[in-house]
Amino acid sequence: MVNKVAVVTGANRGMGFETARQLAKLGYQVIVTSRDREKGLAAVDTLLSEGLSVEYHQLDVDDPASIDTLANDLRDSHGRIDALVNNAGVLLEPIDADASVFNADPETILRTFCTNALGPLLMAQALVPLMGGEGCIVNVTSGMGQLSEMNGGYPAYRLSKTALNAVTRIFADELKDTNIKVNSVCPGWVRTDMGGPHADKSIAQGVETTVWLATLGSDGPSGGFFRNKQPLPW
């Protein structure tokens, strides 16, 4: 277990930070990544002070060159990875605003797609070759991306998370003859900067299913959508 390596994007705070902490407590060498280098290094310092095995790598999931640099550095330093948690995400539409699809800003949609859907796709393209045919990919998505319960409001975010669910399904199908498990997770309503202080889940509760999916064995599910460790309809 000591040699297992996990990469967590957007891990300088919130659910990404707690996911990194929980995986490190399970014995993973965790690569903490973030766009903001100073905040990422501060997060790593906190985890190191807890006696956890973590290291930092700056990463901008909107930048293919940044992703390639991470992949090359991981190949040189570790040779492989065992888990990828695509946690980095943005909600660029104002909270509690009337964000109707009829007045959705195309630029906001494109920027949201770039981080929430294209970023995880590019991360998997770059890092799957380092997994050696086994491991776990977890895409942190949202119930707001469920077609079966799709509503109005927050169109850029909803569309991006629906696309991320499609990324999960496509990768899972193309990797079905390997032992790489690819799944989506909806953490639920969590008390983060995005979720707000009135959400019903703590951050620790919010990452339980993510950590479970990141540590699945070869007999675990793939191509699924989960909340509270239970499957959700797409």
Q: Which residues are catalytic?
A: 157
- As a whole number of angstroms, the distance between CA 7 and CA 85 comes to 6
CA 165 to chain CA centroid, nearest Å: 12
CA torsion 104→110→111→117, rounded to 10°?
110
Q: What is the C-alpha end-to-end distance of the chain, expressed in Å? A: 33
Q: What span, in angstroms and rounded, lies between the C-alpha atoms of 11 and 31?
A: 9
Are 184 and 139 in contact, with CB atoms under 8 Å apart?
yes
Q: Which amino acid is at 111?
A: R
Q: Which two tokens stand for residue 49?
A: 């002070």
**Per-residue CA distances from 104 to 95, 98, 140, 157 (Å):** 14, 10, 23, 11
Q: DSSP class of residue 136?
A: E
Nearest Cα neighbor of 181 from 149, 223, 142, 122 is 223
**Half-sphere CA count of 148, side-chain side, radius 13 A:** 7
